[in-house]
Structure 1
Amino acid sequence: MGIRMIHHICIQTEKYTESLDFYTRILGFEVVSETANFHNREYNTWLKIGDFMIELQTPKAGDKFNVWSSLNGGPVHMGFLVDSVEEEYERIVELGYKDFKVKNGKIVYEVEGESLFKIKAPEGTEIEIRDTDIK
């Protein structure tokens, strides 16, 4: 049958409260389920926006995560499509969130004529926000 769609990404965090607030209050995900004491983890929580889900996990008891780096192999960032980059940037700023990536002295910048910005989640995940689809 083959792959139909991306279902979820699992994000591990040692900053559970901050990450949960970021994904729900700042990005607008809804909590589907929050399970305490999940397989030796403090929390395993499912978040959803549209048809896309994030599985947010705390480390297993006694484990310590490596610090995130864009030099790691594997996923570097997640990208979300919005109606207006400028309006989404202003909305996030009005909510008091300030951890944006700056490129060439700008937060909102262009790549090949298309506006975007990147915001950093508390656990280190880089989120790209853009208003144009890839053609």
Structure 2
Amino acid sequence: MSKKFMHHVCIQTDKYEESLAFYRDIMEFEVVKETVGFHGRDFNTWLKLDDFMIELQTAKKGNTFNKWSSLNEGIVHMCFLVEDIDAEYKRIIELGYNKFKIKNGVVIYDVEDGRLFKIKAPEGTEIEIRDTNI
């Protein structure tokens, strides 16, 4: 088997409406398919940005999720590249979203060969926005 590209990440949330609005309105994903009552879940929704997809789903009936922590093993954050970090920050602020991670008293900070900021999705996923590729 040869690997072609990453297809999707599955994100579970107990804040479905808030998370859906975040990925659709703030992160500019397109809703491809929303399924109600999917295998014991209230919702299972596919969102797409270019060739990358997120499968957003609620808990199965009767289950509750553990809260996200940066001390968990596995994926710690997702990163998206933008052409203009300042314009992207301004766009998100103008949409009324302000759950940014502060580092050393600032939101946008310098890293090796570029700048970035991090934003927290309603369900706790940390999203990194940066202006340079590795």
TM-score (norm 2): 0.98
Structure 1 equivalent of residue 9 of structure 2: 9
Equivalent in the alignment of 1:64: 64
Q: In the TM superposition, what is the alpha-carbon distance from 1:113 to its structure 2 partner?
A: 4.1
1:86-119: CA deviations, max 9, x gaps? Answer: 1000000000000000000000001124100000
Distance 2:66 2:46 in 1: 23
Mapped to 1, the partners of 2:61 and 2:107 lie a distance apart of 37
Shift of 1:2: 1.1
Matched residue type, 1:108? I
Partner of 1:92: 92
Distance 2:112 2:4 in 1: 30
CA displacement, residues 3-60 of structure 1 (integer Å, 9 cap, x when unaligned)? 1000000000000000000000001000000000000000000000000000000000
Gaps of 5+ in 1: none
Name segments (4+ residues, structure 1) moved above 3 Å: none
**Structure 2: gaps of 5 or more residues:** none
Equivalent position of 1:18 in the other structure: 18
- TM-score, with length taken from structure 1: 0.98
CA distance in structure 1 between the aligned counterparts of 2:8 and 2:84, rounded to whole angstroms: 24
* Counterparts of 1:31 and 1:89, CA distance in 2: 23
Counterpart mapping for 1:28-107 below 5 A:
28-107=28-107
Q: Deviations over 1:48-74 (max 9, x none)?
A: 000000000000001010010000000
